[in-house]
Amino acid sequence: MKSLRSLLAVVLVSLATVAFAQMDAQKSATQSDAQKSFDKLKTLAGTWQGPITVDPPRDDVKPGTMGQITMRVTSRGNALVHEMQEAGTPLDATKYDHPVTMFYVDSDRLTLIHYCDAGNRPRMAGKLSPDGKKVEFDFVDLSGGNEYGHMYHAVFTFIDANHHIEDWTYMMPGDQPMHAHMELAKTN
């Protein structure tokens, strides 16, 4: 009788394992494009550094300025936090540029909200390129004032596990675009 109970327990555990594996496989097979894009972005979790170039050039971004990007997955895997700053500067929101961007899947759309130093919050929607090497975000709408301009477009290009490129377009007052380009290497 004891061996029958042990056998029954083993069979039940095996069936449960198979059922969960099938559910996971089915979930992966039906994963939305937004979730696939988000999962790709989550592979960038870590700290990154690299040179920043700005076009048109600006006095406050000297040639050779190094940027630091920190990305971390939070909220049980449902959000990705992106923090940007000049490398080597302390975290002091009263003195230094330190915008924060949040990524998450909202229904069937990958969403980016950029909490900008300009005092506004542009929202963008992103998609993974067919080759899986880029996630590109297009402007959707803006909360907050626009007197200083707003972030308008972002592209994340995946090179390999230790390198990626970020391109951000900021729309200056008068709809004049300013492009920032960062070639980043993982530091941890």
Q: HSE (CB half, 13 Å, CA atoms) of 185? A: 4
Residues 187, 56, 136: CA angle, nearest 5 degrees: 55
Task: Specify whether 2 is located in the same domain as 53.
Answer: no
Model pLDDT, residue 24:
46
Q: Which domain holds residue 15?
A: 1-30
Burial class, 112, CB count within 10 angstroms (exposed 0-12 / middle 13-18 / buried 19+):
buried
Q: Same domain for 66 and 95?
A: yes
Amino acid residing at 95: K
* pLDDT at res. 6: 57
**CA–CA distances in Å: residue 98 to residues 80, 82, 83, 179:** 16, 10, 7, 17
Q: How many CA atoms are closer than 13 Å to the CA of 5, on its beta-carbon side? A: 2
- The answer on 85 and 12 residing in a single domain is no
Q: Give the per-residue pLDDT at 91.
A: 75
Q: What share of the chain is helix, strand, coil (3-state, %, to 5)?
A: 20, 50, 30
Residues 1, 47, single domain; the answer is: no
Buried b vs exposed e over 13-25: b needs ≥16 C-beta within 10 Å? Answer: eeeeeeeeeeeee
Can you give the pLDDT of all 188 residues of the chain as single tens digits? 566 555 555 545 455 544 444 544 444 457 999 999 999 999 999 999 999 999 988 877 787 889 999 999 999 999 999 999 888 887 777 766 789 999 999 999 999 999 998 999 999 999 999 999 999 999 999 999 999 999 999 999 999 999 999 999 999 999 999 999 999 999 98
Tally of domains in the chain? 2
| Whether 94 and 127 share a structural domain | yes
Q: Are residues 113 and 173 in the same domain?
A: yes
Question: What's 73-90 look like in SS3?
Answer: EEHHHCEEEEEEEECCCC
Q: 48 and 131: one domain?
A: yes
Q: Are residues 23 and 54 in the same domain?
A: no
Residue 131 is predicted with a pLDDT of 96
Residue 156 bridge partners (DSSP)? 135, 166
Residue 53 shares a structural domain with residue 25: no
Tokens linked to 15: 């069936």
Together in a domain, 41 and 8: no
69 shares a domain with 9: no
Note the pLDDT of residue 20: 44
CATH number for the domain harbouring residue 39: 2.40.128.20
Do 60 and 14 share a structural domain? no
Q: What is the predicted pLDDT for the residue at 88?
A: 85
